[in-house]
Structure 1
Amino acid sequence: MNTIRRIVALAAVCSALISTSVFAKEYKIILIHGFQPQQLISDGDVTQSGQAYWQGYWNALSDERIDWPSYERIEGKIATDYVWPKLKSFSQSNLCEPGCIFVTHSTGDLVARYIIENQATWLENAGLSPLNIVATFDIAGAGGGSELADLAVSVAQNTEAWTFAIEAALEAWLGGDLTDEMGVLHDLKVNNARQLAALPDARIPRLRFVGDASDYLGVTSPFIQGNDDGVVGSHSACGGNRQGRYGSCSDRIDFNGKSTSQSDAVSGFMPYHYPMLMSDKYSHGSLLEPINKGKVTAASSSEQLMFGENISFNTYTTTSGWWLWKSNYVYVSGSNNDSMSELIYAAMPN
């Protein structure tokens, strides 16, 4: 009986080791979540909220998270009370010695940019080694701000007239009534976001993953410039260097994969920002989930990480229509089955 138990225990250990080797990645994965509107109503536990944010897919695949409260400001307590202790811990434990990839969502993109701008100076001043960040994977990035934040702050400050359309948009996004607590919404205003750590010295590649659907039946879209995912416009998610009414991250391919000239594409990007995957089937929230919403296309199928290693996606071309109405569509292999997040994780170096 003892022999049987030992065999079963050994089998369990072997299974765990095999599982770990299958899913382990070359670089450590650190998650930075986005804006959580419920925290403007009830503070709650920041760590629990951070875990719940990523529970659908990424939490089990990550090595660490940086959790922060939406009721604070990035240059204030978010940096001093939440980001700094984590950076210090990562450095002391040599977590990023093999290299770290930040996976961000929404406002996490803006928080990551502030970290990239400051982490080396902060850690060196504390007698610690800077983190070896090889890239960020920015999903639905809000580094360029969101017009919805401008709208919310304007309404709260009584500089915007209240209408039924505005009420519907803000309630859909915030999940309830607007409160006096603004917190990180001030940082998310388009002009404020674009001025925050706008030009970090570090040449860390910022790879962008972008959706063009909405969870809110389109009620937020009239207030967002250009194509949007229900929360941020393509000018922000693609990494554009200015606000604008853009229709694609690429001048040669549409969000739906159609290969054709895009006259309204983002024409200039923030330094080291590289759009990769796009889809007209994924919204701001569904980009994080392990649920396939439809095919994905590539603004760029290959980009380099900090030290020259490639991240790449296989693509294929299909034709639809006939004669003068024939069009080519470019899709990422596997995107008819795998979700956007699953495609992103699979592309990370093993």
Structure 2
Amino acid sequence: MITLMRTYSTLQASVDGRRQVADLSRQLNQAGEEATTGYKSDRFRALGSRAGEAMATRARLDRLESFATINATLDRRLEMTGSSLGDMRASLQTVLDLAVPSTEGHAFTGAQLQAAARAALDQVIGQVNRSYEGVSLFSGVANTVQAIQPYDTVNPASGLSPRGMVETAIGAMPVDAAQANAKADALAAIFDPAAAGAATYRGTVYNGAARDAAGKGMSVRIDEEEVLDYGVQADDPAFSEMLRGLSMLASVDISTLDNQAARAWTSRAFEALENGRTGLLSAETRIGAQRRQLEDTMESQAARVTLYRQQIDSVEGVDPYEAATRLTQLQTQLEASYAITARLSKLSFLNYM
């Protein structure tokens, strides 16, 4: 009887050993990746029918994280806006304080008031023209331009500077209270944000965007179903009143006027400044309310982000102990395979002759 025996050559054994080593190396790399990241290396293959659930959860997480980034930037912008409004009120207060006699009974002089008003005017214009990350705070959607034209700089759109516009409207100095009130009325008309024409607040002083037909400025979606109307624009009456009052005092040395004219002029200027200060305070209050709404939304989103990450971890994650154990086992197997493959590669028929 003839028996056929299938032989297994040392060459074939060596080749199979190398294949086994390659396969174990691949598995070891995957196990190392899982142990390092905490997630399955081939997530969707491992999840099977649950892959759709994981993809949907990740999509919701990505949207939430996008909102979180946008909202954090918006919160910092609103914080700076509120701070700038506070700085403007402080600048106005330095001028308003000059109208009140000190405890020693000394009142301001016309020259002192005029100098203080001009300094405050330049300071306030700089504060209104502040920007955050290159975006103007008070220009509305036209956020790449300065909100307010510098006082002595000609506006190309109108061919006038704010100072020239004011001085043209005032003309000759008022000689009595009636003239002072008439000239103050003329300035109030051109500083009205709704006035049209070149020699107006909107035509020469304010460079930002107009509000829409509903009177709204900027808005942004801060969550899937939530839109926030935010910010303050320098076409708000608070800004025009503030700048009108400072311009009146910066343009006229009241010590050169008749007492009745000086009293009327100063009274109208300070009325405008008080209106501006009150309006700025209201704007600060609105900014605070907007930040509160935004912070509530951000807190809710942070909680949802945590929940979605936990869901993803439960679906895509691997047990750290299991991953470490598997890594050790594969390392041991690979070391054994290396040893066997090395021994097989050294076998030769000549060793046994």
TM-score grouping bracket, smaller chain normalisation = under 0.3
Normalising by structure 1, what TM-score?
0.24
Q: Which has the higher strand share?
A: 1
Normalising by structure 2, what TM-score?
0.24
Larger radius of gyration: 2
For CA contacts below 8 A with separation 6 or more, give which structure has more relative contact order: 2
